[in-house]
Amino acid sequence: MFDYSFQWRPALRALPDMLAGAWVTFETAALSMIFGVLIALVLTVMRQAPNRLLRGVGNGWVSIARNTPSLFQIYILYFGLGSLGLHVSSWLALLAGITFNNAGYLAENFRGGLKAVPGTQMRAARSLGMSAFQAYRMIIVPQLLRIVFYPLTNQMVWAVLMTSLGVVVGLNNDLTGVTQEYNVKTFRTFEYFALAALLYYLIAKLIVGLARLLSWRLFRY
Amino acid sequence: MFSTSLTVNDVLYLLEGAWVTVQLTAWSILLGTFAGLLFGLLRALLPRASLPLAWLLDVFRSVPLLIQFVLFNSLKSIVGLNLSAFAVGCIVLGIYAAAYFTEIVRGGVLAVPLSTRRASRSLGLSYGQDLRFIVLPIATRVAFPGWLNLVLGVMKDTALVMWIGIVELLRASQTIVTRIQEPLLVLCIAGLIYYVMSLVVARLGARLERRWQEND
């Protein structure tokens, strides 16, 4: 029944490459989070706009991002745009797909956070002579970020996990991609992927730990 | 301009894939709900003793699902279990769902005020009765939206099982794309099916939630 000898040494030999892949994974996730937060802020404002078109676009984005699989979103960016003559690299398709997904989920979080910021804050800021943009930038958004900090951390972990989907559209330099390359060369599937799983776990824990440190620094007063 | 080689059979093939997606979701949610209920109760009622369980379940939440599929699939071959790819998909997704549902259940049980439970005990209800008649109804209402979100999440995550060779909705659309070379159209149809399935589940859930709130 059990005639399999584990070979951990080749997996350990691949560790430097996998660590390099882990860095790519982290970078991709961080980039997608930065763009995702920016787009989500725009979407949140758009969804409250009096203009029906803006509201429609915002609501459409959020509901598509939340109601279809992220793999599907990456697929449509990779294969769908290709059929329109726009050939994007698999890394760009992955980044755009995750950013799209992040923006949708974060916009929903921000909407909840915005509800928790009292409406009087906005009115007070405006009556002190701030423009709408200034009021958002200096009064609303800082309070909002404090409320959504925990969901933001969660989403960052999610983004890291989602980067593993890049391998399905042929990305070969992120953690899963590197692992898969070694896997198809040696067929030591279990060993390589166990190591990758461990690395993903460590990255996730690192992010949660860093976020905890950051929140302790930021929200101290 | 709008000529397409998409045939009725292709659409039927997509719908067959969607049926596989629904089945996978149903089985894994069933598994995840039972396991998550058990683990969540353990976590809420014996927090100290079940700490190792929390660490274990945390692993399933911080490792990409794709890697979990590959790992479990190869582990199955190593150990020599004779499971179909579908069963592997259900088990992995089920454990994944259980890991999330545990936290939801725990949150629900802990949301029942301690004074309410003390009151029920002082009225002469036994520990089991307290759990059944006081904690269960209140915790269910708190946990239900989370559970619904989980169902939607798992349904979207079923798309990943194509990696271990199950033909579900996304894989079916991939096959058709390879044949007729019209990725945008086929993928849009697949996306529409996902969207409608999500919408139906969300609507049913919202209705149920409203009905429960009537006599609160």
Specify if B91 maps to a domain. yes
CB B166 within 8 A of CB B85: yes
Quote the distance between the C-alpha of residue B183 and its chain's center: 28
pLDDT at A29: 94
Specify if B142 maps to a domain. yes
On the question of pLDDT at A1 being above 60, the answer is no
Confidence category of residue A186, pLDDT binned at 50, 70, 90: confident
pLDDT at A157: 93
- CATH code, B179: 1.10.3720.10
CB A163 within 8 A of CB A28: yes
Work out the average pLDDT over A91-113.
Answer: 92
Domain count, chain B: 1
Domains and CATH numbers, chain A: 13-218 (1.10.3720.10)
Of A68, A164, A205, the CB nearest to B66: A164
- Of A10-14, A98-102, A214-218, B43-47, highest mean pLDDT: A98-102
Task: Return mean pLDDT, chain A.
Answer: 89
On the question of pLDDT at A197 being above 90, the answer is yes
- Alpha-carbon gap, residue B174 to B172, rounded angstroms: 5
Instruction: Select from B63, B73, B178, B203 the residue whose CB has the most chain A CBs within 10 Å, as the one to mutate to test that interface.
Output: B63
Residues of chain B with pLDDT under 50: 1
Shortest CA distance to B190 belongs to which of B17, B4, B5, B8? B17
Specify if B2 maps to a domain. no
- Alpha-carbon gap, residue A156 to B195, rounded angstroms: 24
Q: Tell me if residue A26 falls in helix, strand or coil.
A: helix
pLDDT at A221: 58
Specify if B19 maps to a domain. yes
Specify if B192 maps to a domain. yes
**Chain B residues within an 8 Å CB radius of A162:** 64
**Chain B residues within an 8 Å CB radius of A169:** none
Q: Tell me if residue A34 falls in helix, strand or coil.
A: helix
Tokens of A184: 């198809």
Share of chain A above pLDDT 70, in %: 98
- Alpha-carbon gap, residue A70 to A65, rounded angstroms: 8
On the question of pLDDT at A6 being above 90, the answer is no
CB A199 within 8 A of CB A68: no
DSSP class of residue A39 equals H
pLDDT at A61: 93
Give B70 to chain A, closest Cα distance, Å: 7
Secondary structure E strands in A45-158: none
CB A103 within 8 A of CB A152: no
- Alpha-carbon gap, residue B92 to B32, rounded angstroms: 10
Q: Tell me if residue B151 falls in helix, strand or coil.
A: helix
pLDDT at B184: 86
pLDDT at A87: 82
pLDDT at A187: 84
Q: What is the pTM of this model?
A: 0.88
Size of chain A, expressed as the number of residues it contains = 221
Specify if B1 maps to a domain. no
Q: A–B: how many Cβ contacts below 8 A?
A: 109
Specify if B40 maps to a domain. yes
Specify if B133 maps to a domain. yes
Work out the average pLDDT over A48-70.
Answer: 91
On the question of pLDDT at A204 being above 60, the answer is yes
- Sorted by sequence, the CB contacts under 8 Å of residue B174 that are 6+ apart come out as A75, B162
Work out the average pLDDT over A155-176.
Answer: 90
CA dihedral B21, B25, B26, B28 (to 10 degrees): 130
Domain that holds residue B111: 8-214
Give A177 to chain B, closest Cα distance, Å: 11
